[in-house]
Chain A
Amino acid sequence: METPDTNLDQANDVEAGMRQRAWGQHITAFVFVLILGFFLAFWLSRPSQLSQLPADRLQSLNQGWVDEKRCAECHEQAETFWETGHARTLLPVTDADSLNLLKQMNSFLESQGTPTSLHFDDETVLAVHERDGSTSQIRLDWCFGSGEHARTWVGTLTDSNGATDEVEFRWSWYHDIDGFDITPGQQKQAGSGYFGGLGLLFDAPKARKCFACHSSYLPVESGKIQTSKLHAGVTCQRCHGPRQAHVESEGEVTDPFWKNATQLESIHRCAECHRRAEEQPEADVHKDNDNIARFQPVGLVQSPCFQGSQMTCLTCHDPHLTLKAQDSLGIWQCTQCHDGTESKHVLCSAGHETGCIDCHMPKVKMDSPLKFTDHWIRIRKESESSP
């Protein structure tokens, strides 16, 4: 027999149970939404895979970049490094060397009676070409080239999508003749079109490629080269990577690459700009093709000297020094393996004891007034081109 009190208690219990259950529902629903929310927040904030891909190293070198004047605080070579061709391979057009050459060029162009002239003011150099009463012009912005071989000027333009194009000026300065001539790769006859008389118009990918080999940090956004931020020239951190940690640790953090690089890795680092052999079409790699002399690593890796030893570019070249200061034309490198005092060494079959370079690595003339040392070290036949 249930009393009214018992019924009341039971009703209270049921009500409490329902309340408890309702709370339970609210809590689980809350937890459910919370977990969903966290999941979504996590999932949607994932960086895109594209942004996680290894980037172009040249575009990332600003991360940890340090002012390169600080290198000279500890490294003696860094004091004179700025005179090297690598360091000066890209200059603003207003650099004194560049302006000096351009002024000489203007006199040259005038003396030759060419329809092209240069106009200078404080900030800019304008190249102007006149043809049949109409004129075309381009502002020259940069001077490319180390000066060891040549210097060429370019003007930059923005295309309809905002990317950077460039016009390679038609006239260059050549070290070997200490004078001016048509830029390598351009026709003797001026081309047609608005820029035809001024040079060659390169689209954005080509422009980027030019700047990539002549700078140490190259920020590019949607095809536009951020010229105000780029670090011109091939300087310390292009080869050694960002050195902020190195400087802050007072030299304790070092660049392991050059210590541990294999022969091929070492060559390839230089070949990033001077061209890797794999990139040269196979059909072009033969002894009769003088043009590959321009791409030193391509020739070097074909050489028996390279294949039979551990030699790299650094065996003969010290990139920290100017070419003049390097003893790259000597024979000390050759005699490490071809020493007459060592009975086991193979010696020159022609009986020469000096001047190895002249026969085995002659300079090869290109179409323009340019000569390149052929790095395909070999015994040449009479029929092959000689200096």
Chain B
Amino acid sequence: MKSNSSSRYRFLKLALICFLILLGREPDWGTESVSLIPPVSDCLLSPENVWQVPLASAGVADFLNHVPYLLFAALSAVVLVSLVVRFSSSVDLIAILILASLSAAISPLDLLPICCLSLVCAIRDSAWLKSRSALRLTALLCVGFFAILVTLEFSLVLLFLILILWNEEDVTVRGVSRAGAIILASIVLAAGFGLAYFVHPSFFHVGLRPVSWMWMQVPTELIPRLQSPVVVRSHWFSVVTMVFAGGLLWSARSTQSKNHLTQFLILLCFALVSLASVHYFVLALSCLVLLTRPYVDKLSFQFPLRGVVACTLIGVFGFAIWQTDKLSLLAGEPAPKLVDPTQWQTGGNVILMNLDHSSDWNEGPASDQFQLVLDERWDLFGGKYHDYLAVCRDLKEVRINSYLRTDLEWGGYKLVIDDWNASILVVESQELLAIRGLSNSPHWKLMGIDGKRTIFGNQEIPANIPQLKRAVETILFLEWPKPGAEIQLDKTIVANTDHDARIVANVLCLTRLPYAGLRFIRDDHSASAEKVRTRCFLELAHRVYRHSGVGSCLDQYRALVRFRIGEKNGIWSPAELAQIEQSLEGLGVTLQEEAAVVSEEADFIEQIQLAMRAGDEQLCTSLLEKLEEPVKSYFSCLVDSPAMDVEETLTCLNRILLEEPDFPAEIAGDAWFYLGCLALETGETVSAAAAFQKSQEIAPSSAFREIRMIYLQQLGQK
């Protein structure tokens, strides 16, 4: 009795760890639902007679497409714990590591295949079925059949099933020897696959999925899930624990196993598959664990287990709480995470640049309105991915017209896109270069942004026009808000978490809407938000420079000072720094902290302006001492602006300009212009317009004349 309750307690303890990790992975675990079976693939370029997961295409198991995340987490916890629960409690450390690794990486589509694997082992180990070999074999075959019904990865389950049978030492059916049985099984297997190829070639290709992606060299740029977990930072933990636990399991196994070489090769295969791609990591690791499970009890470690378990529980509990979107949970109604293209009353063919997002478009109402050009089924499209990738590259680089490639074929996307009649183009919101490139495209215009995707619409498709118009109105309103106007933001932009807001801000900045971007990160002072903010200031500096020929003492100075602080704090990667350097070249400045070259002949005002445009904080501070009031206070406001909130700088500048009637006319035009810019940044458009008008009155032919006119036009004052 005691033993039963202790093992029940242990099961619960492990399941709780697993469950909490799974909750921590999904901030909206209370409201989110997931699909446990792959959606039907129905793409523009799909060949005929495609193998689909039968349950998905039959539609009889709709509930499997909308399983609450909470239920998925609970089921996964139970199933994953069932993989390791037979380890003795002395190796609970390994069990916890494996569980943590699996629950951090498991995807909803892995759940049913793992259930099958676990069932196969349960049947094998069942004492009751041990003496009923016919029933046992039937049960195993049923599991295999079930796997074919619910997953595209059935071949891994079947392979595992065969291995289990293969390893049975007492397999002698009616006097057939072991060697004979193996030969017979191989012949049956080969014949089965041969038959499958003739009856349904696509089924055969699906069966080869676990290995075919390797020789097809499916581009991981299109299907990032096929990257090795070793190169995906979020999977490092899984890989490290897998290697550690794998080493221990291997050690346990090798002390026990007899068929050493065969076992070695089999385990090696599973280890390689698990390390080769994120997609197969969980399945292959599960196989590895199940195959080594019977031998693990021989291991004995003396770890302070209670302490480890307690710490793990506290850690994962904190992780789950920290990750959970509390507001959405308490509000009762889930906050949307993604823009919903089905509301746009448009449809047509969709080009995805990240095919891992295929299920967003292959499932639910979206699948009725949209059709993907192709999706992540490499068993169907393996040969087409390279051409598709080339088109994606041309789209990102806005290579519209034909150009000759090194293979003497023609590049350029226009003819291909016309052929596909593509209506929607979906880019990952963190693919900055692609978004920047597409923002220059004459064909593709922004339709929607969220933390995951940035959606562009083909403006030659009439059905896209209403949403394209709405999107333009929305983003222009965010850039230049007009008093009294109203917009429906969530039809175009969804950013309900800080993380998503930062991504959206970056996208807006890249599409040359820096004020709109800044509005999404106003109260966010994290390092990531700081990066986006600095980029926005750089964009503003370029805008002013492009329209005036002179640098902005406000934006250029803020950008440079913040870049340098960020560089010292190490928030910029070398690639980002190189790109920033390239961008600063356009302003005639550099990121290097060199003393600004300031002519001694120039007066102090000119000197400090030059120093600010070069971002020379030190020189600015020293020159401040040489200025007289109220000019000194004015420049002091600007010099302090990188360290102040925009509202503080605005207040500071406002006070000086309003309270100092003797403010020198030669810099008053610029000062009012900067005040207008700050007011625009804070969203005080009436004050902004008034400041720009004042600037215009004081200095009608100032260098900022053109940009000021643009701002006034956008604010509806011209």
Q: Which residues of A contact B (CB under 8 A)?
A: 21, 24-25, 28-29, 31-32, 35-36, 39-40, 43-44, 48-50, 53-58, 60, 132-137, 157-163, 192-194, 203-205, 209, 212, 222-224, 257, 268-269, 271-272, 275-276, 278-279
Contacts and interface: CB of A to CB of B under 8 A. Distances in A.
Contacts of B172: none
Given A25-B255, A28-B260, A29-B247, 7 more contacts: A32-B268, A57-B406, A134-B706, A157-B586, A160-B542, A272-B402, A278-B402
11 contacts: A32-B271, A44-B230, A54-B390, A54-B411, A132-B701, A134-B703, A136-B706, A160-B539, A192-B706, A194-B707, A205-B398
Nearest to A204: B440
Given A39-B275, A49-B217, A162-B583, A133 B393 contact: no
Given A49-B220, A157-B586, A39 B272 contact: yes
Interface stretch (B44-52, B322-330, B546-554, B671-679): B546-554
Nearest to B509: A160
A149 B127 CA distance: 92
A222 B433 contact: yes
Contact of B228 (A21, A40, A157, A276): A40
Contacts of A135: 549
Contacts of B436: 161, 163, 223
A203 to B, nearest CB: 5
Contacts of A192: 706, 709
B405 A55 contact: yes
Contact of B710 (A193, A203, A268): A193
A194 B220 contact: no
B547 A193 contact: yes
Given A29-B254, A44-B231, A160-B512, A58 B403 contact: yes
A160 B586 contact: yes
A25 B254 contact: yes
A134 B582 contact: no
Contacts of A161: 436, 510, 579, 582-583
B108 interface: no
B706 A29 contact: no
Contacts of A132: 700-701, 705
A31 B267 CA distance: 13
A194 B546 contact: yes
A212 B405 CA distance: 13
B547 A194 contact: yes
A136 B250 CA distance: 73
B415 interface: yes
Contact of A35 (B268, B399, B543, B548): B268
A81 to B, nearest CB: 21
A40 B272 CA distance: 8
B268 to A, nearest CB: 6
A53 B221 CA distance: 12
Given A25-B255, A193-B710, A205-B440, A158 B585 contact: yes
A270 to B, nearest CB: 11
A224 B220 contact: no
B596 interface: no
B705 A162 contact: no
Contact of A134 (B230, B254, B541, B705): B705
Contacts of A209: 401
Contacts of A205: 397-400, 437, 440-441
Contacts of A279: 401-402, 412, 414-415
A158 B406 contact: no
Interface string B631-662: 00000000000000000000000000000000
B302 to A, nearest CB: 20
B406 A54 contact: yes
B402 A276 contact: yes
A224 B700 contact: no
B264 interface: yes
Nearest to A156: B586
Nearest to A51: B221
Contact of B548 (A57, A194, A268, A269): A194
Contacts of A43: 228, 275-276
Given A39-B272, A54-B405, A205-B398, A32 B586 contact: no
Contacts of B414: 279
Given A158-B585, A160-B538, A205-B399, A223 B251 contact: no
B65 interface: no
Interface string B413-444: 01100000000000000000100110011000
A137 to B, nearest CB: 6
A127 to B, nearest CB: 12
Contact of A136 (B275, B543, B549, B583): B549
Given A54-B405, A57-B404, A272-B402, A134 B702 contact: yes
Contact of A212 (B385, B403, B543): B403
B433 A40 contact: no
A55 B390 CA distance: 9
A58 B433 CA distance: 21
A40 B274 CA distance: 11
A48 B585 CA distance: 30
Contacts of B697: none
B333 interface: no
B386 interface: yes
A132 to B, nearest CB: 6
For the complex of A and B, the 5 pairs showing the least CB-CB separation, nearest first, are A158-B586, A162-B582, A133-B701, A49-B219, A205-B398
A276 B415 CA distance: 11
Contacts of B546: 157, 194
A24 B260 CA distance: 10
A101 B397 CA distance: 35
B440 A193 contact: no
B169 interface: no
B407 interface: yes
B706 A193 contact: yes
B387 to A, nearest CB: 9
Q: Which of B407, B542, B582, B705 has the most CB of A within 10 A?
A: B582
B254 A28 contact: yes
Contact of B386 (A35, A48, A49, A133): A49
A52 to B, nearest CB: 8
B389 interface: yes
Contacts of B230: 40, 44
Given A40-B230, A193-B547, A203-B440, A224 B405 contact: no
B486 interface: no
A224 B399 contact: no
Interface in B202-238: 217-222, 228, 230-231
B221 A50 contact: yes
B170 interface: no
B409 interface: yes
Contacts of A35: 268, 272
Contacts of A25: 251, 254-255
Contact of A53 (B260, B275, B386, B579): B386
Contacts of A257: 408
A137 B549 CA distance: 7
A32 B255 CA distance: 15
A193 B219 CA distance: 44
Contacts of B228: 40, 43-44
